Amino acid sequence: MRNTSPSNIVYIVDDDEAVRDSLRWLLEANGYRVRAYDSAEAFLAAYDPASVGVLIVDVRMPGMSGLELQEHLIARQLPLPTVFITGHGDVPMAVSTIKKGAVDFLEKPFNDADLRDIVGNMFEKAREQAQAAASRRDREAMLARLTSREQQVLERIVAGRLNKQIADDLGISIKTVEAHRANIMEKLQVATVADLMKVALSKAES
């Protein structure tokens, strides 16, 4: 049995009750917490983005399809590791879902051992994404503490402007620029300009 954290959840979304029950039995027997839903809409209404989880979803369902659910999660910047299951093999569809972040694509009936291995790999990816998201939220919280003037100074530091140039740009003294730089570095908890650039640029890339 796998050792899984209480927050690790396998979400199953499939309109076929027999498939949901089969998957639940298999995964719970391997130590996973499972939450099953008969539609994408029901899943979205209950999903907590703060949890570390992975998604097993049927491609074709009444209402929102599995592919549409994937698009919805991407649009909301919730890159939940996903494996698609379907009774209708479609290689181009499989390639498309994987390019958008799906971990795998399985045809029914699928091999139980393969699914167990895939879910294990999915949780590795889920933990990495959760750590990255937590780091991103921390950076955004620190950046939000900057005053509007400090943000202006930071933008110019990132652009490679020197203190004198920043002072001229903003109509303030060099000493004031230096004070703003010191405050920025303290608020962002960095000791070097290189680290300052990493925090600022990570925000721009997120």
Indicate which CATH number applies to the domain containing 46: 3.40.50.2300
Q: Is the CB of residue 82 less than 8 Å from the CB of residue 55?
A: yes
SS3 label, residue 187: helix
Find how far residue 13's CA is from the centre of its chain. Answer: 19
Q: What total number of domains does the chain contain?
A: 2
Residue 97 CA to residue 66 CA, distance in Å, equals 10
Indicate which CATH number applies to the domain containing 149: 1.10.10.10
Residue 55 CA to residue 41 CA, distance in Å, equals 14
Residues 104 and 183 in one domain: no
Say what the pLDDT of residue 93 is: 66
Please report, in tens digits, the pLDDT of each residue of the chain (206 residues total).
444 444 578 999 999 999 899 899 988 988 889 999 999 999 999 998 877 788 999 888 889 988 899 888 888 877 788 888 877 666 666 666 676 666 677 777 777 888 888 888 888 777 777 777 777 778 888 888 999 999 999 999 989 899 999 999 999 999 999 999 999 999 988 888 888 888 887 765 55
Q: Is the CB of residue 199 less than 8 Å from the CB of residue 190?
A: yes
Say what the pLDDT of residue 129 is: 75
Q: Which range marks the domain in which residue 54 is found?
A: 8-136
Q: Is the CB of residue 175 less than 8 Å from the CB of residue 206?
A: no
CB half-sphere exposure, 101, CA atoms < 13 A: 19
SS3 label, residue 150: helix
Q: Is the CB of residue 81 less than 8 Å from the CB of residue 103?
A: yes
Q: What phi and psi values does residue 16 have, to the nearest 5 degrees?
A: -95, 110
pTM above threshold 0.85: no
- Contacts of residues 68-74 at CB distance under 8 Å and 24 or more positions apart, as own/partner, are 68/40, 69/13, 69/40, 69/43, 69/44, 70/97, 70/100, 70/101, 70/102, 71/100, 72/40, 72/44, 74/100, 74/101
33-37 and 8-13 as β-strands: parallel, antiparallel, unpaired? parallel
Residues 103 and 172 in one domain: no
Say what the pLDDT of residue 2 is: 45
Closest to 182 measured CA to CA, from 156, 152, 159, 150: 150
Residues 149 and 132 in one domain: no
Residues 122 and 183 in one domain: no
